[in-house]
Every structure is written in C-alpha cells, then in structure tokens.
Structure 1
Amino acid sequence: MKSVQLFRGSPSERAVLWGFALLLLALLLRGALPVLTTLLSFALKVSLPFLLALFVAYLLEPGVRVLERRGFERRRAVQAVYAFFFLLVGFALALAVFRLDEVAKGVQSFLHRLAASFEELGDGTEGPLAALPPSLRAEVLRWGAHLYARLPELAVAQLEKLDNLWNFVFVVTLSPFIAYFYLVDGEAFFRFFALGVPPAWRATFAHLLFRIDGRLARYVRGLVYVAVLEGILVYLGYRLVGLPFAAVFAVLTAIFEFVPFVGPVLAAGFPLLYAVPLGWSKVLSAFAVVLVAQLVENNLLSPLISGKVTDLHPLAILTAVLVGGELLGFLGMVLAVPVSLVVREVVFAWDSLRAPEGPTPSPDG
C-alpha cells in the first residue's frame, strides 16, 4: 500500500512544514484548552533537573574526553572535571556575593538619578526633549513617569516569587549530580530507553537518540562558547566607555544569548536604560558597544563556532521562540530551539521508517 504524505517536497522542506504545523497546533490547543499550559508547566518542573543535567553534561563532556585520551579511567576523568567545575562555580558565587551589596547600592542610586533626569526633562527649557513639540514631549514624560512609578510594584512582584526562586535553586543544585551519572553511564541511558521500543524499530530508535544527542551537544557547546565570548566582549567595551557595573551587564548579555534573536535585544535594554541618567553620550557609547558586539557575533563568532548546527530556517526559529515564550515564558524561549531540533530529527526518522525505498537521508548525513 502506497504511503500518503501530508506535505510534499524535500525532507528539509517537509521538516520545516511539520514544525510549523506542530507549532500552530500548539497555539490552537492553548487557546482551546487552557489546561495545556498547566500540564506543560508541570512537565517542565519535573523534567527541569534532567534538562539542566543534560546541559551540564554536554558542557563537561569535552574535558572528560581529553582526560580519557591521557589515560584516565572514565569515572576518574569525570571526577577530575567535576572538581575543577565546582571550584570555578564556587569562585563565581563568592565573587557575586562579594559584589551584591555594591550592586544593590548601584540600583538605588540609579533610581534616584532616573527620577532627577525626569524632573530635568520636565521643565522643557533644555535637554534632549526641548526640541520636541509640547504635546509629544508631554506624552514622553507621561510614559516615563508611569514606568518609574511602576518600578516599586514590579520589584514587589518579583519578591513574591521567592518561593519559585528557592525551587529553582534546588533544581540547579540537584542537576550537577544527575549530570554526573549521565557522564559516567551515558550509554546505559540510551540502552534503557531503547528497551521500551519494539525490536523492529529498536535500531532506528537508537540511531535517532544518538543523532539527537550529538546535535544537541553541538548546539549547547557552540551556544555557550558564543555566550561567554560575547559576554567578555561587551565587558571590555563597557569598561572602555566607563559604564558602571560592566561585569553585571556582561553576565546578563551572556545569559540572554541563549534566546535567539530576541535575547540580545532584551540584554541591550539593561545597559542602555542604566546609561540614561548618566547622559546621552553614555547612552550612545553603550549603544556603540552593543552594536559592535552584535556585528562581531553575527559575522565572526557564530559562523566560526556554531556554524549551521541547527539547519533551521530563521523564520522557523523565531516562530518557535515566540511560541515557547507564550507557553512557558523565558525558559520556553530558551528551550524553543532544542525542542525544534528534536522535532526535526524525529521527522526524519519517521520518514526513514515509512519510506518504501529505504531510509531517507538527513541533510547533514
């Protein structure tokens, strides 16, 4: 019996169309069944330690392999890499705690300067808004005053989420221990999952797991390398132009690099907003740093390090990020691309099982 294809075209085109169909289905289900969001949130909370553990394992695996090539037994190599990893994390946490009081005072000083800046702009006799028409200037000032008035409310709302913060701290603390067992007995995990598949599909399923594992590993490592280098680059730039708290803004930049397209824009808002009370020259300097950093990332870092790991159309990535953000917030945006990669590999594996003439080759082999 001839198989029926819902979408025609090359395997890559069908993968993109299947991705869009699944994303559209997710949106429709969210509108028709609000309980889906609750289920997704519950599933994410349960799986979050394992997802973070996978992230840590992908990050540390190259170091383990280097030690294995030097004659270390696998378990000893993992333990040595973990010792270095925990020393590095401990140093970073100690440095963050040491700077916490300084950052808190800086935020308080920033709010005072921001209020003073709005007062200076409000007289309309001088400053960057003086040339604007009175109605437009009044609208800008009204919007700024509304935003400033809501800052305490937003701060209180974040404090009310401390319970979620402690849960997240627990998950982050637990995930390295899960990653340890994944690094030591990674192949055993693959064999365990393959046992639940019918024997006729077991070889294809095992191959699919290894392909997903390899593609996610390359994506995570490339993303981390780009994020770290981008953070270092903006740190040097902010120090060069004399912007305070350059290290804090660099860390935020590195974190938001994990969200394609949208992340760098959100990360740029923090230093630009902080520079407003310091004068428009500081705003322009901070903007220049952001612009140069993005040019370096897009034209040098990403092509050299990440390459074409995802092999997804930019529009498909952007759609996945928006849907992930709508369903699960910031974490959904971070997970959007990895989930899309998994869906892509599953589609190709499904085509391989259904193709009468044999396996359908994936574009990257």
Structure 2
Amino acid sequence: MNTDSPRASLAGIAAFYQRVQFATLALAVLWLLSHLASVLVPFLVALLLAWLGDPFVRRLQARKLSRNLAVVLVYLGMLLIVVIAALVLVPLIERQIATLIAAFPRYRDWFLATAIPWIEHRFNVQLSDWLDTGRITAWLEDHWKQAGGYAGTVLGVVSRSGFRMLGWAVNLVLIPILTFFFLRDWDDIVRRITALVPRDHADLAQRLAKESSDVLRSFLRGQLLVMLILAILYAVGLRVAGLELGILIGMLAGLCSFVPYLGPIVLLLLGCGAALAQYGDWHYLIGVFVVYGVGQLLESYVLTPKLVGKSIGLGEVSVIFAVMAGEALFGFLGMLLALPVAAVGNVLMRHVYQTYLASSLYRGDEPAQSQLIVPGSIIDETHGNSDVPG
C-alpha cells in the first residue's frame, strides 16, 4: 500500500496552516502598529540610534574595553554631537526666524502686489478677488454660523495640538534614556530575537538580517552626510548670494534632500521667491541658480556616488513611494519605518530572485554549469557554484 500520497497531503495541509499562522501574525503586527504609532515613535528612534551606535561599541570592545565602558563612551559621544549641533544651529535658526518676522510685511506686500498680478496675467486666472479683505469679511458675515463651527473646529485642533506638543516634549526626553538602555542591551536583544527563529532557517535568516543591516546602515550614514553637506553648501551659497533668509532656506533644502528631488525643488521655489521679494529684480535669481547648479553637480557626481552609492538597491521612485506609503499608512512612524522595510524587502526579493535562478524551475533539465551568467545572478558559469543554501 502506497502511503506517500497521504503523507504528502498531510505535509501540504500542515504547510498551509503554517502560512496562515504567519499571515495572521503579520496582520496582527500591522494592526498594532497602526494603533500604537504615536507610542512607538520614541522607541523606534531610540532603537535606530542604538543600532547606528552599536558598531562603534564593538570597535571599542575590540580594543579591550569592557562593554559597559564602550557603551558609556559611545553614548557620551552621541550626546556631545547633539549638544554641539544644538549650540550652533539654535542661535542661527532663532536669528533667521527673527529676520523672517521682521521682513514678513515686505514679503506679503510683494506677494500681493507683484506675484499675484503676474500669475493672473500669465495663467489667465483671477486670484485678487479671493484675497480681497472686504470679500472675505462679507463671506464670513453670510456664513457666520458655519464660520463659528469652523472656529470651534480650529480651537479643537489647536487644543489637540497642545497635547501633541506635550507628547513630543515627553518623547524628546524619553529618546536619550531609551537609547542608552537599547545600546547597553543590544547584544541581548539580538540574541533573543535570533532564538525565536526556527532552527531550520536560522542560518539563512542570520545571513539575510546581516545583509539588510549592512546595506541600510551604509545608506543611512551616507544619506545623512549628503544632507549635512548640502545643507551647509546651500546655506552658505544663498547667504553669499545676498539672501537674508539664505541660511534658513538652505538648511530646509538640505534636510528635504532625504527625499529625492524634494531638496532642489524647495531650494528653487523658496530661494527664487525670497530673492524676488527682497530685491524685486530678476537678476538676483542668478545667484540662486548658481547655488542650485553647484549643489546638483556635487550631489550627482561626488556625494551620492561616493557616500551612498547603490547600497540600498532602490531607485528614486521606489524611495519616494516607500516614504509616502509609510506616511499614509502609519503617519510619522511609517516614515521612519519606510526605508528600513524597503531595504529588508529588497534584500528578500534579491534572495528570492537568486533562489529562482538556481532552481530547477528556471534551469529545467539543463545542468547548472551550462547556464549563462545573468546580471545579479549567483550562478557562476565557470565554477558552477552557488551561495544559496540548497
């Protein structure tokens, strides 16, 4: 009597239920993330900082320092960087904001007297009527009940925003505390997570986790350096070009460069608007375009290839989609998780692709040695070996 068929059926049913369990667990995790997003933000930020600092702790341990001493030194170094950055940036930003407040009437008058008429003439649209104070007052008188409802809504939003600001303040206090504990207990955290992986897949999971960690750490470090260099370049360049708000605009454009193409767009829009409002002359736009061109050349041909490269393996469109999708699904927490999830997903997809190239489904009946080398393939035509576990 042949028992292979019933055994195969039972094995297939068991595998199916196992997949259902994993899918249920994944859905439960996503549900928890969506409901605990605001609570998890400081923990995730602290975990990210501890993950970035752990390699430096290991280097100090390699120099015969104890784990606790290495953690304290790295933690103090991270705090020192934050304190220095705050001492340098806070006065600059404060002065720029004071300049913006003082110059706001001039910017407003330029917008109403010059920008709006030019837009109306250029695009054949009517905007002045909607910005007329008499029209706005009449509209409010005709819709005073609705306006009262809107006012209540605005007050409610402001009230909730106050609680949110308090929550952000609490998070800022929690982040350094959590970072220290995560950094101290990092090895124990990794060991406990590793212990949960099924033993049959432990080696593969460890290899994929290390690859994901390496590419993501390389990308984040490189991208942060690119943002810092571009922020300094834009701020100094716009200030040399004569823009009184050049430092503020340059810093904002440098920070926005984390999302592809957003930094240059912010630089052009705000820089050109500030130059026209300040000087009222098109010739002063030349300085903004020069800073933009130098920044683009430096970023495209020097900074990104040298500091970031192809470490994460994602294109610009993929990065933009990942950030926007993460924000739409889980808010700020989703933005923080977007690139790590995208990097891990890219590593997993690469593993699936390589496994497929090494499988009999792809090769058919032909021997592995006769296969052509495919870009990115793990199949070696000369030696006929593969680094995917059988």
Give the structure 2 partner of residue 47 of structure 1: 40
The percentage of counterpart residues that share the same residue type is: 26
Q: Residue 213 of structure 1: CA displacement?
A: 1.9
Matching of residue 74 in structure 1 with residue 67 in structure 2: yes
Distance in 2 (alpha carbons) for counterparts of 1:134 and 1:341: 47
TM-score by length of 2: 0.66
User: Residues 312 and 343 of structure 2 are in contact (CA less than 8 Å); yes or no, is this contact kept in structure 1?
Assistant: yes
> Of the candidates 111, 124, 141, which is equivalent to residue 104 of structure 2?
111
Deviations 1:287-310 (A, max 9, x none): 431332122111210001111111
* CA shift digits 1:102-138 (9 cap, x unpaired): 34432323321122213542897xxxx4xx8857466
Match of 1:229 in 2: 229
What secondary structure, in the 3-state scheme, does the structure 1 residue paired with 2:260 have? coil
Q: Report if the CA contact (8 A) 2:37-2:333 is conserved.
A: no
Counterpart amino acid of residue 229 in structure 2: L
Structure 2 residue 191 is the aligned partner of structure 1 residue 191? yes
Tell me, in whole angstroms, the C-alpha distance in 2 between the residues paired with 1:324 and 1:180. Answer: 27
Using a 3 Å threshold, how does the CA distance of structure 1 residues 69 and 86 change in structure 2: closer, same or farther?
same
Give the deviation of 1:164 after TM superposition: 2.3
Q: Give the structure 1 partner of residue 249 of structure 2.
A: 249
- Higher relative contact order by CA 8 Å / sep ≥ 6: 1 or 2? 1
> Which runs of 5 or more structure 1 residues have no equivalent in the other structure?
2-28, 30-35
**Partner residue in 1 for 2:371:** none
State the partner residue of 1:295: 297
- Distance (Å, rounded) in 1 between the aligned partners of 2:316 and 2:343: 13
- Residue 331 of structure 1, CA deviation: 5.9
Verify: 1:181 aligned to 2:165, yes or no: no
Verify the 8 A CA contact 2:268 2:292 in the aligned structure 1: yes
Question: C-alpha displacement at 1:268, in angstroms?
Answer: 4.8
Alpha-carbon contact 2:323-2:335 (below 8 Å) kept: yes
2:93–2:248 contact (8 Å) kept in structure 1: no
Distance 1:255 1:101, change over 3 A: closer
RMSD over equivalenced CA pairs, Å? 4.1
**Given the superposition, is the C-alpha separation of residues 337 and 133 from structure 1 closer, same or farther in structure 2, using an over 3 Å criterion?**
closer
Show CA shifts across 1:9-55 (max 9, x none).
xxxxxxxxxxxxxxxxxxxx9xxxxxx99865434324322321233
Deviations 1:124-183 (A, max 9, x none): 7xxxx4xx885746646568889xx9xxx9x99788634323323333432333333343
CA distance in 2, matches of 1:139, 1:107: 28
What is the 5 A alignment of 1:1-365? 40-61=33-54, 63-99=56-92, 101-121=94-114, 129=118, 134=121, 136=123, 139=126, 161-266=161-266, 268-278=268-278, 279=280, 280-328=282-330, 332-333=334-335, 335-348=337-350
Q: Is the radius of gyration larger for structure 1 or structure 2?
A: 2
Equivalent residue of 2:258, what SS? coil
Distance (Å, rounded) in 2 between the aligned partners of 1:212 and 1:183? 19
Give the letter for the 1:51 counterpart.
Answer: L
TM-score using structure 1 length: 0.70
Distance 1:268 1:321, change over 3 A: farther
Is the partner of 1:91 in helix, strand or coil?
helix
Q: Alpha-carbon deviation of 1:221?
A: 0.8
CA pair 123-290 structure 1, distance change in 2 beyond 3 A: closer
Cα separation, 2, equivalents of 1:122 and 1:232: 29
Equivalenced residue count is 319
The change in CA–CA distance for 1:252 and 1:159 in structure 2 (over 3 A counts) is farther
Q: Aligned to 2:196, what secondary structure does the other structure show?
A: coil
What is the alpha-carbon distance in structure 1 between the residues aligned to residue 354 and residue 31 of structure 2?
34
Secondary structure (helix, strand or coil) at the match of 1:176 reads helix
Single out whichever of 244-253 and 58-67 deviates more from structure 2.
Answer: 58-67
Gaps of 5+ in 2: 1-7, 9-26, 137-150, 363-374, 379-386
- Say if 1:260 and 1:321, in contact at 8 Å, map to a contact too: no
> 1:227 Cα deviation (Å)?
1.0
Kindly provide the amino acid, as one letter, of the partner of residue 214 in structure 1. D
Offset at 1:356?
Answer: 8.7
The residue aligned with 1:25 is none
